[in-house]
Each structure stands twice: as structure tokens, then as C-alpha cells.
Amino acid sequence: MTEKTLEKTPGQTLGPFYFSGTVYPKMHEVVHPFSPGAIILGGTVYDGAGAPIPDCLVEIFGADTDGTVSRARGARRRDDHTFTGFGRSFATDDGRYEFWTRNPGAAAGKAPFFAVVLFARGLPDKLHTRIYLPEDEAALAADPLLSSLTAEERATLIATRLPDGSLRHDIRLQGENETVFLTY
């Protein structure tokens, strides 16, 4: 009997089908907006031409302020008291995403950051990146990932602290100031 060889099928792009099974109440509230230490983390997702992407999905995961990573089950259940570490936000028509969260603490001695996953139409797979807090320059300089990048690349991973205490971080998929994406 001869062995059959099958041709690879072409890749498929993601979405926009995100609302099916991905939406749950308060999904962008990693913490309740009025809980101690609550901040807004937000920004805009841009395509290679610099236009906002209106139909993408951004997920974040981060440690609590003391560096503890939540291991509790039920990250989708929001009880207005528990820090879940995980959040999900759909971009608005203007490409803006937003989360209620807390500043992550340094986990295992590393610079504090949010792990980010991005889903968007036209992408054959999700993209992974990070958003670092801007304040601790020594921790940022010692971070293994950041220290392996050029100054321009590092800048694409560090959020800006606004006067009200919130964080702004834009994500650029291509082009000038393209965000550094990670391979897993």
C-alpha cells in the first residue's frame, strides 16, 4: 500500500467573530473601578498605515500590586472584590481599548508588566506582547527582554503614566514604532 501525502491547507485569519463565546459581564474590569489602587490602562490599536483598528480584541494578564499572580479559578466571574489578574477588552470604533486594573507588582524580581494578547482580523494567529510600567528605570534596565532590545524597540513596550495616574499604551501592528511582539 502506498502512503498518501496530503498538501498543507492554507492558513485562516482570525475573526471578526469574537462575540461568540468570548463576552462576559465586566470583562474589562480586572478590579472593580472603585477598589483601592484601581487605575485605567488604555490605548489605541493601529494598523500598518496608522489607522485605528476598530474590531480587535485585547487581553491582559498581570500580577497584583504585591507581585502575586492570581491562581484563583473563575477569572471570568467578577464579584466586585476579587483581583482576577485577567481582562478582555474589545476595541471601540476608534480602535481604543480600556481596562480597570491595578499596577502590577514585580513578580520574581522582574520589572512589573502586563502580558498582552491581541486578536485582530487579518492575523493568522494571535500576537503576544507586554506593557511595562514606566517608573522603575533600574528594573527596566535589568529586565532580560528589555535589555535585549534597542532603545526604539524598548519604547514600544513601556506605557506612559498620565497625570491622573492612569496608563496609556498604544499598540502598532506594523510600520513606524511597531510594537515588539513575542513568539511563544
The strand ranges marked E within 121-178 are 127-132, 160-161, 167-168, 171-172
- Provide the domain limits for residue 80: 27-172
Residue 47's pLDDT is 94
Q: Is residue 8 in a domain?
A: no
- pLDDT surpasses 60 at 18: no
Examine residue 73 and state whether it is found in any structural domain, yes or no. yes
In a domain, 18, yes or no: no
**What CATH number did the domain enclosing 68 receive?**
2.60.130.10
pTM of the full predicted structure?
Answer: 0.87
**Smallest Cα–Cα separation from 95: which of 146, 169, 1?**
169
Mean of pLDDT values over 96-120: 92
> For 22-50, what is the mean pLDDT?
92
- For residue range 80-90, what is the model confidence (pLDDT) as tens digits? 878 888 999 99
Rounded Cα distance between 130 and 147, Å, is 14
